[in-house]
Amino acid sequence: MLRTDPETVLPSGEQLTISAGGQRATIVEVGGGLREYERDGRPVIDPYPADRICDGAHGAPLIPWPNRLADGRYSFGGNEYQVGLTEPEKHNAIHGFLRWRPWNAVEREPDRVVMATRLYPLDGYPFSLDVQIAYELGPDGLTVTTSADNIGDRACPYGLGQHPYLSPGDGLIDDCTLQLAGTTRICTDPDRQLPTVREPVEGTAYDFLYPRRLGDTRIDYAFTDLMRDEAGRAWTRLWGPDGGCVGLWVDKSYQFVETYTGDTLIPTRARRGLGTEPMTCAPNAFATGEALICLAPGESATATWGIGLS
């Protein structure tokens, strides 16, 4: 397990490296996210440098909600709440509260690390959660299991996401072949990127139910009504020009997958990876309630996704 020099303070904090069978992954203290993951030297996710702040939410857990919350407002249990606007130019709150908080490694093995943090009550979210994320390498790749426990005395709203970017290997994702499991696209308005209507993807520019070249297609949408295999997993697959295929799967706890081609990142980072975000709830779910989890006191929720290179 790699620890940083105590005199060196990196923007993402302590770097926790696990390895197994030619695989190597680095999980970070700040945000508890996945900074890099490679197999036999080939990147599986698009990383960000250790000496840089995490950009574009690369690898970050999104808790207690993923995606956008319009105006930062929601109702729950007969009460109205307002959270801070973390996307002020669009008047939205985005990706929850835990991206910039320190997490602790509570379990460490050569091929596994468990990160944990506690979310204390906040203005706009007066609830308490204990959260753990287990990252484990195995023969089929990296498995990520997140659990949240309501340690408060009242029910709370909860949603979960994570934000890895699938790597094309070298170059841009434009030269990749893509397959998505989502049969329905959640459309958004162009100004605030909030959900509007839904449309079947079949026959549209966003129909990647069967593998085809991505090219210059721009995507920043959530997909749902996911096709699943016999094990109940829904897959996103990205074939790079080198022939390597990165596959990301989600279990049934994840009903939505946001796909983002990274066009709004800075030019040196744009379209270097395919944002593939497992989400348990829909965009703006705190406001709409769609697939939002209501955790009773003492109740927990667990969800698992995985990623590998073939």
* Enclosing domain of residue 234: 15-309
**Any idea what the Cα angle at residue 28 is, between residues 26 and 31, rounded to 5°?**
140
Instruction: Say if 8 falls within a structural domain.
Output: no
Instruction: Say if 60 falls within a structural domain.
Output: yes
Instruction: Say if 9 falls within a structural domain.
Output: no
Taking alpha carbons only, the member of 98, 93, 135 closest to residue 118 is 98
Low-confidence ranges of the chain (pLDDT < 50): 1-2, 4
**Any idea what the Cα angle at residue 111 is, between residues 108 and 117, rounded to 5°?**
40
pLDDT confidence of residue 6: 54
pLDDT confidence of residue 8: 80
pLDDT confidence of residue 7: 64
pLDDT confidence of residue 12: 97
CA distances from 23 to 91, 112, 140, 284 (A): 41, 12, 10, 36
CATH code: domain of residue 225: 2.70.98.10
pTM of the model: 0.96
- Tokens 């009504």 locate to 225
Cis link prior to 64 (omega < 30° from 0)? yes
pLDDT confidence of residue 1: 45
Instruction: Say if 241 falls within a structural domain.
Output: yes
Query: Which tokens sit at 141?
Result: 């790749």
Instruction: Say if 143 falls within a structural domain.
Output: yes
Instruction: Say if 61 falls within a structural domain.
Output: yes
Tens-digit pLDDT profile for residues 162-201? 999 999 999 999 999 999 999 999 999 999 999 999 999 9
Instruction: Say if 120 falls within a structural domain.
Output: yes
For residue 80, the number of C-alpha atoms closer than 13 Å in the C-beta half-sphere is: 2
What's the structural domain count of the chain? 1
pLDDT confidence of residue 236: 98
Instruction: Say if 183 falls within a structural domain.
Output: yes
CA distances from 153 to 58, 121, 302 (A): 33, 11, 20
Going by DSSP bridges, is the β-strand pair 15-20/23-28 parallel, antiparallel, or unpaired?
antiparallel
DSSP single-letter state for residue 88? G
